[in-house]
Amino acid sequence: MPVYNLKINGTAHSIEADPDTPLLWVLRDHLNLVGTKYGCGIGQCGACTVHVDGTATRSCLLKVSMVEAMEITTIEGLSEDGSHPVQIAWKEIDVPQCGYCQAGQIMSASAFLNTNANPSKEDIRDAMSGNLCRCASYNRIEKAIETASSKLS
């Protein structure tokens, strides 16, 4: 079985895995980075969102063989102590209900705010439309992103 050298949350890892193994399962099963969640397995819900070279990416769709030499950031690596402005805003607004989708929501929101630090409500809705929340916390998610953007400006 091949060995892949991955850089995840700033740390180098050598992972032995089948080339077709989704990054999601490498993170969860090989590295015990379980903040990234399995939601649908077909890239439709956003629960498995991580950053790959700074871009929000569905880890369930990305094969481990495709990510060598790329910088991967999971929810655990967004900040060591939960001090990222999006994480702070999530707490201030009390976004989660069940919490299952929140890591993916936060990862999508933080990547989005890196490209648009002063978004309109429509910009936020468009950017976050690929992340599903079964508890329908969308209004609080939008408010938290607005709050985080004000902290970034």
pLDDT for 29-85, tens place per residue?
A: 999 999 999 999 999 999 999 999 999 999 999 999 999 999 999 999 999 899 999
Q: Kindly report, as residue ranges, where domains of CATH 3.10.20.30 are found in the chain.
A: 3-77
List, in order, residues 6 or more apart from 15 with CB less than 8 Å away: 3, 4, 5, 6, 26, 30, 31, 64
Helix (H, G, I), strand (E, B) or coil at 140: helix
CA separation, residue 68 to residues 6, 20, 106, 151 (Å): 5, 13, 24, 33
CATH 3.40.50.1860 fits 85-152, yes or no: no
Q: How many CB atoms lie within 10 A of CB 134?
A: 12
Residue 153 has pLDDT above 90, yes or no: no
pLDDT for 73: 98
Q: Quick one: average pLDDT of 81-90?
A: 96
Give the CATH H-level superfamily of domain 3-77: Beta-grasp domain (3.10.20.30)
pTM comes to 0.96
3-state secondary structure of 134: coil
Residue range(s) in the chain whose domain bears CATH number 1.10.150.120: 85-152
